[in-house]
């Protein structure tokens, strides 16, 4: 019994109790309080409470464990240099954990605001990384100040060193600022279907610090375009000013056809396609325009409004099938390319050739 009492009264046992107790208490707070807050936040229609609860995940465990370590360090006859070291380590841990929570909150806030303004589209990685980097640098400066380190010489050194880095990394910084320009201009956004003057086309998946990634259509490969090249290129954005676009199908009928009847049949087929297929816009009437007297046919174009770029393939495919079938039922001929050559004055041509 005296040995057990001596062990219980040992400072090391007390230290272990404080450390383990702080960790267990923090874990219980996380599992009971924070988890319940998270469930309550999910049931509300607001998003900011979800962001706040998500930002503090596992932070109570860190904070209460740090408190247990601090109280454990104050027990017994430790050397004088132990408490300052532990205090500095805990300061770094606490401020660092707050900075991590701030980085989580900033990331969620940027993505939430981006989704609200762009319609459930994630924010570009460049914006998220810059926001998180700013919070991390701020947290680093606060840690240095609390450790008694003067940050003025550091800022001066960073300014001088930043000039040297800027000269050495001109291309990288050029792409970085070009990416910021792309995001701020809002002319190219994630999920937009774009076509570059160099020939690449597809959906923009992300704008990063160095390049913009584009998923090509229809093979689905990823193409990385340097931000500086994208900022200076001619870009056709199929989602601006609106995602809907006209699909044009060229058709030709024989000269013997009743053009009024042809127009009525083609427009009826186009309306049925826009009504039946998911990618069509039934509220927009199709347009038919005769445009040429060709060698073997009278040509016209049918224009149909579709929801987005990827919808034009199925709409065009189904329209051609239905129009061909309906023209066959109506007796409307789609002629083969035929050219009739009429030679006038054939008898007088022979002597001319003979004279040569």
Which carries the bigger pLDDT value, residue 272 or residue 191? 272
The pLDDT of residue 116: 61
The pLDDT of residue 355: 38
Strand residue runs (E) in 147-216: 193-196, 201-207, 211-216
How many whole angstroms separate alpha carbon 13 and alpha carbon 9? Answer: 7
Mean pLDDT over 43-63 rounds to: 79
Q: 3-class SS at 280? A: strand
Which carries the bigger pLDDT value, residue 113 or residue 40? 40
232 CB-side CA count, 13 A: 6
Q: Which of 92-96, 106-110, 168-172 has the highest mean predicted lDDT (pLDDT)?
A: 92-96
pLDDT bucket at 317, cuts 50 / 70 / 90? very high
- Each residue of 163-216: pLDDT tens digit? 666 565 567 777 777 877 777 777 888 888 888 887 888 888 888 878 888 888
- Contact present, 61 and 23 (Cβ < 8 Å): yes
Q: Running DSSP on this structure, what letter comes out for residue 76? A: S
Structure tokens at 211: 């390049």
How many whole angstroms separate alpha carbon 286 and alpha carbon 247? Answer: 10
Mean pLDDT over 73-80 rounds to: 68
pLDDT at 84 exceeding the cut of 80: no
- Contact present, 339 and 296 (Cβ < 8 Å): yes
pLDDT at 263 exceeding the cut of 50: yes
Task: Give, in order, the Cα–Cα distances in Å from 339 to each of 295, 332, 344.
Answer: 6, 20, 16
How many whole angstroms separate alpha carbon 326 and alpha carbon 273? Answer: 13
Domains in the chain with CATH codes? 2-149 (no CATH), 171-237 (2.30.30.60), 245-330 (3.30.70.100)
Q: Please, what is the average pLDDT of the chain?
A: 80
How many whole angstroms separate alpha carbon 303 and alpha carbon 327? Answer: 18
Residues 6+ apart with CB under 8 A from 295: 337, 338, 339
Torsion sign across C-alpha atoms 85, 139, 212, 204? positive
Mean pLDDT over 59-67 rounds to: 85
Question: Judging by beta carbons within 10 Å of its beta carbon (0-12, 13-18, 19+), is residue 313 exposed, middle or buried?
Answer: middle
pLDDT at 325 exceeding the cut of 90: yes
How many whole angstroms separate alpha carbon 321 and alpha carbon 192? Answer: 29
- Each residue of 130-144: pLDDT tens digit? 888 888 888 888 888
Of residues 22, 102, 96, the one with CA closest to residue 56: 102
pLDDT bucket at 260, cuts 50 / 70 / 90? very high
pLDDT bucket at 248, cuts 50 / 70 / 90? very high
């Amino acid at each position: 019994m005296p040995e057990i009492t001596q062990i219980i009264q040992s400072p090391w046992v007390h230290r272990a109790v404080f450390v383990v107790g702080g960790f267990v208490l923090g874990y219980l707070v996380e599992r009971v309080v924070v988890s319940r807050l998270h469930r309550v936040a999910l049931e509300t229609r607001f998003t900011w409470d979800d962001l706040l609860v998500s930002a503090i995940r596992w932070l109570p465990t860190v904070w209460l464990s740090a408190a247990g370590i601090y109280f454990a360090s104050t027990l017994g006859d430790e050397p004088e240099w132990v408490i300052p070291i532990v205090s500095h380590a805990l300061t770094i841990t606490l401020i660092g954990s707050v900075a991590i929570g701030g980085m989580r909150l900033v990331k969620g806030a940027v993505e939430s605001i981006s989704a609200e303004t762009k319609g459930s589209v994630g924010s570009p990685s460049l914006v998220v990384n810059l926001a998180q980097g700013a919070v991390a640098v701020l947290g680093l400066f606060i840690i240095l100040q609390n450790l008694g380190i003067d940050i003025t010489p550091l800022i001066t050194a960073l300014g001088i060193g930043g000039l040297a880095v800027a000269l050495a990394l001109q291309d990288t910084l050029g792409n970085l600022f070009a990416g910021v320009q792309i995001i701020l201009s809002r002319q190219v956004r994630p999920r937009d279907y774009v076509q570059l003057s160099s020939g690449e086309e597809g959906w923009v998946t992300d704008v990063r610090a160095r390049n913009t990634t584009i998923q090509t259509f229809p093979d689905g490969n990823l193409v990385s375009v340097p931000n500086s090249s994208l900022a200076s290129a001619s870009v056709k954005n199929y989602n601006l000013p609106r995602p809907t676009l006209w699909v044009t199908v060229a058709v030709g009928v024989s000269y013997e056809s009743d053009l009024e009847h042809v127009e009525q049949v083609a427009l009826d087929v186009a309306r049925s396609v826009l009504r039946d297929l998911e990618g069509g816009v039934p509220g927009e009437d199709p347009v038919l325009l005769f445009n040429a007297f060709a060698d073997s046919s009278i040509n016209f174009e049918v224009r149909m409004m579709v929801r987005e770029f990827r919808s034009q393939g199925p709409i065009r495919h189904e329209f051609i099938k239905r129009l061909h079938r309906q023209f066959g039922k109506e007796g409307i001929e789609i002629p083969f390319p035929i050219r009739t050559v009429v030679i006038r004055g054939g008898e007088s041509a022979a002597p001319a050739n003979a004279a040569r």
